[in-house]
Amino acid sequence: MRFVSRLAIALAAMVAMVALSGAARALVRIDVDLSAQTMRVAADGGESFQWPISSGRAGHLTPRGAFRPIALYPMVYSAKYGNAPMPHSIFFYGQFAIHGTTAVANLGRPASHGCIRLAPENAATLYGLVSRQGAEIRISGQIGANGPAGAARSARRHAWRALGYAPRPRVHTLKQWAADPLNRR
């Protein structure tokens, strides 16, 4: 009798392992490269995609590592950031998610508060794949790590910003401001 129960447990364990190994192969593989601001997606059905992303900017970095989706929502509004829409959200670590954005002009460079943003149609495609097959998310690289050419490109792209932040002498009292509100001295 004991032998039969042990045999049944062993068979059940083998069936579970085979089922789990089949499920593991069906996962969508999502590779995010923060250095290049790109996402590569490989699905079980042979589909593969490469999309530009926006990850967390300086001070709001995107977590790196290996993750699994913890929650999927067709639409979320960020209470933290003025009810910003986050369509096709795939949460993978706390409040961090992969989601669609209306700020498509920012794709290809860090611009978010830590989430990974995609074009809305790409987010919808990814959401559909992950909701059917599950996913394994790997996030690697770092902002500013795309080598000397990338640093030079970034410096050229943002050179005009230095003029906007040039220091100006400050007016220290209300009386000084009333005498010279534009601080022209």
Q: Render pLDDT for 10-64 as a digit per residue (tens, 0 to 9).
A: 666 666 665 555 544 569 999 999 999 999 999 988 899 999 999 999 999 999 9
* Ordered alpha helix ranges (H), 93-164: 120-133, 147-158, 161-164
Q: Are strands 28-33 and 38-42 parallel, antiparallel or unpaired?
A: antiparallel
Residue 166 lies in a domain: no
Is 31 within 8 Å of 138 (Cβ atoms)? yes
| Residue 7 belongs to a domain | no
At 112-149, the pLDDT tens digits run 999 999 999 999 999 999 999 999 999 999 886 544 34
Domain with residue 87: its CATH number is 2.40.440.10
Structural domain including 79 reads 20-143
How many domains are there within the chain?
1
Task: Note whether residue 171 is domain-resident.
Answer: no
In a domain, 62, yes or no: yes
* Whole-model pTM over 0.95: no
